[in-house]
Amino acid sequence: MKKSRLPLIIGAVISVALIVSIFVVVNYKNSQVNVASDEEQPAAQKGKEDEPTKEQPKTPDKTSEPQEQPDENGYYPNQTIPTEPTYIDGVLLANKRYPLPSTFAPGESPEARQALNTMIAEAKQQGFNLVAFSGYRSYEYQTTLYNNYVKRDGQAAADRYSARPGFSEHQTGLAFDIGEVGKDDLWLTEEFGETPAGQWLFDNAAQFGFILRFPQNKEEITGYMYESWHYRYVGVEIAKKIKEQNLTLEEYLGVK
């Protein structure tokens, strides 16, 4: 009996000793971690997010995560204006996800203006008297414009029809609002897109390097409602690809 019980007893003693030592080590480690995180909280939060601590495991991750969901007007909460404009494959991108710096003031693009003039001349040949009634807008001008709308209608309403400063594609110098001469009542309306002139523009703009920037049923991607009048110069090659494949600029560039 004695012989057969001895290994059991030894085993039990070793087990107890192991459990006690694990308990001691774990407690010691916890106390070390607590001391460290109490004393160096700023450092621990800033640079040591991956270190497992019992007191604050997820808080640093959550606060540093970018807010991905846009609000009802397509703006991203806590969005910061960058110091440089965004170019993707050489194409300047300005939308609610990629705003422009306040210092970005290129003026109207001469290349875009020349293409616009050629397009307007060609439209005239076809019997359509088009005009660009709005083009380049500086950051300062957009600020004045937006603030006046906010004063008049409140921010929520203003956000529905006016871009905040830094978020307007007109600041690129590559965008134009186009309508028909003498038909001002249809400027900035969806109906313009249904007129023969608006239809001609939609069908032919790509040949001159322009795209309808905010097409129907693409609000989720562009962040803007359908704007039958707003055209953006991207060059003939890209404009034709975008038109042929029925894409938005965001889809073509592979961003949202």
Applying CB under 5 A, the residues found at the interface with Zn ion are 177, 230
Nearer to Zn ion, 33 or 141 (CB): 141
Name the residue whose CB lies closest to Zn ion: 230
Reduce the DSSP state of residue 179 to 3 states and report it: strand
Element (H, E) at 29: helix 2-39
Q: How far is the CB of 142 from Zn ion (least distance, A)?
A: 11
Q: How far is the CB of 188 from Zn ion (least distance, A)?
A: 8
Nearer to Zn ion, 37 or 142 (CB): 142
Task: For residue 111, indicate whether it is catalytic.
Answer: no
DSSP string, 107-176: -S-HHHHHHHHHHHHHHHHTT--EEEEE----HHHHHHHHHHHHHHH-HHHHHHHSPPTT--GGGGT-EE
Element (H, E) at 26: helix 2-39
Q: How far is the CB of 175 from Zn ion (least distance, A)?
A: 6
Nearer to Zn ion, 177 or 180 (CB): 177
Q: 216 pairs with which residues across the strands?
A: none
Token code pair at residue 252: 């073509």
Residue 37: how many CB atoms within 10 A of its CB? 18
Nearer to Zn ion, 37 or 228 (CB): 228
Nearer to Zn ion, 44 or 164 (CB): 164
Beta strands in the chain (DSSP E): 86-88, 91-93, 130-134, 175-180, 210-212, 230-233
The closest alpha carbon to 136, from 161, 100, 180, belongs to 100
Spot the catalytic one: 169, 180, 227, 250.
227
Q: How far is the CB of 224 from Zn ion (least distance, A)?
A: 9
Q: How far is the CB of 176 from Zn ion (least distance, A)?
A: 7
List active site positions. 227
